[in-house]
Amino acid sequence: MAENNSFIDEVMGFDPSAVATAFENSGANERKVNPNIYKTNPKDATASEDGNYHSRVRVLLNPYNLKRNIVHQARYSMKDQRGFFQAISPLSDGDKNCPIFKGWKKLWFATKPDPEDPTKQIPDTEKKAWARAKFDKSESDWVLVQIIEDDNKPDQVGMFKVMKMPSVILNRLLAKMNPTDSKKQKQPLMDYLFGPCLEMNVAPGPDDPDKPERKQREINYDLCDFESDPTPIMKVDGTPLFTDDEIEMIEDYNTANNDMIKAKTENKRNEAAKRKEELAPNIRPLYGKAIEYIKTYAIDPVVECGYSAWDDALTARVNAWLDKVLNMEDPESDTTAPAQAPSEKTEKDAPASTAEFTVAKEPDESDLPF
C-alpha cells in the first residue's frame, strides 16, 4: 500500500519536462501483427472522405514506471537459412555491449595493411561495404495510449495500446512538455486527468505512378497535434470512468490553474490559487482511480516494446548469424544454424494486470501536477 501511495505522489507531482529529460538520456525479436499496437495507416482509413486517417488518442504516462514513459527501441533485422528474424538490442537502453553492435564495429572499423606501405594500416573498404549490406538497425520510440475516438476502428475505442511515435509528433510532445522558452508553461500532455487528446490526421504519401511505394513510405504526420482542453481517460468500453461531479471537479481545477497562470494582478492570482487549494483534496483520489484502472487493463510499454534479455534460442541464432557475417560468409546459406525454431518474443496478447491499488486516505495536496 505504501508503494502505491508513493506512486500517486509521483504522478501528482510529476514534472512534464522529466519525460523529455529521461528520453534524451536513454540510450526483438520477430514482430508479427500485434493486437497491442495501435496503428494509424491511411490505407486503413475506411471512414475518411479525404483519404487521411483521423482519430483521437490520449498519450499517457507509464503507470508502471514514470521514468520510462517514452520507450526507445533499437532493433536489428537479420536473415539466415531459416529466414527473416529480428532482435531488440541492448542499445535500446544505451548499453553498447550488444553483440550485434560489437560485430558491426569490427567490420565497420576494420583495417588492413597499406599495399604501398605495409607498416601502415588503412580502412578495409571491403569489410565496411559488407557491414553496410548486412547490418540493418532501426530505431523507434513508443508510448502508452488510450483510443478516444476512431471511426475507422470503432471496436478499439477505449482500449489501451502502445503506439510508435513519429518524430514530428514526438518532437511536439517534448517541446510542449519541456519548452525551451522559460516564459512558456509546461503542459502535462500525458497526465491521466488533465492531458489533452492528440488529434491524429495522417496523410498518405503522394500518388506516383512511377514509384507507387511512395504512398506508404512518405506518410505525413505534420497535421497531427495536441488539443487544448483536458480529456480524462475513460473506460475500455468507451463510457466515462469519472462521474459527472468528478468531471466537473477536474474542469474546475483546470480552470483555476489557467486563471492563476493568466492572472494580470496579484489579487486575481491569489484568488485562483485559493480555488485550486480548495479543490485539491478532491483531485488526489481521482488519480488513484485512474491509476488503478489503467493498471488493470493496460500493458507495460517497457515490457511490450523495450529490450529484455534474449532467450537461449535467440542468442544461439544471433551468434550463428554473427559467426557467418564476421567471416564474410552469407548467413542465408548457414547450414549450421540451430535446427529447432527459437522462441523469440513475438507481438502477442499481453495478460491484463490485476495489480491491487489503494488510494491514500490522507492526501497531500501540495504535489498536484499544477
Say what the pLDDT of residue 342 is. Answer: 40
The per-residue pLDDT for 20 is 66
SS in 3 state form for 94-110? Answer: CCCCCHHHHHHHHHHCC
pLDDT of the residue at 66? 93
Give per-residue pLDDT as tens, 26-53: 553 444 678 999 999 999 999 888 999 9
The pLDDT score that the predictor gives to residue 368 is 52
Cell numbers given for 227: 488539443
> Residue 23's pLDDT is what?
64
109 to each of 122, 123, 124, how far by Cα in Å?
10, 7, 8
Buried b (16+ CB within 10 A) or exposed e, 83-97: eebbbbbbbbbeeee
Delineate the domains of the chain, giving CATH numbers in brackets. 2-336 (3.90.198.10)
Three-class secondary structure assignment of 156-217: HCCCEEEEECCHHHHHHHHHHHCCCCCCCCCCCCCCCCCCEEEEEEEECCCCCCCCCCHHHH
pTM of the shown model: 0.80
C-alpha separations of 56 from 128, 148, 151, 154 in Å: 45, 5, 10, 12
Looking only at the bridges linking them, the beta strands covering 225-230 and 196-202 are antiparallel
Percentage, residues of the chain above pLDDT 90: 76
How far CA 263 is from CA of 228, 259, 278, 300, in Å, comes to 19, 6, 18, 40
User: For position 69, what pLDDT does the model report?
Assistant: 97
Distance CA 308, CA 63 (A): 19
In whole angstroms, what is the distance from residue 123 CA to residue 169 CA?
40
Cα separation, 156 vs 130, in Å, equals 44
pLDDT tens, residue by residue, 189-199: 999 999 999 99
pLDDT digits (tens, 9 = 90+) for 186-231: 999 999 999 999 999 999 999 999 999 999 999 999 999 999 999 9
One-letter identity of residue 48:
S
CB of 45 closer than 8 Å to CB of 52: yes
Residue ranges of the chain with per-residue pLDDT less than 70: 1-4, 20-32, 334-370
Cell of residue 337, nine digits: 544454424
Q: What Rg, from alpha-carbon coordinates, does the chain have?
A: 25
Give dist(CA 331, CA 317) in Å, integer. Answer: 11
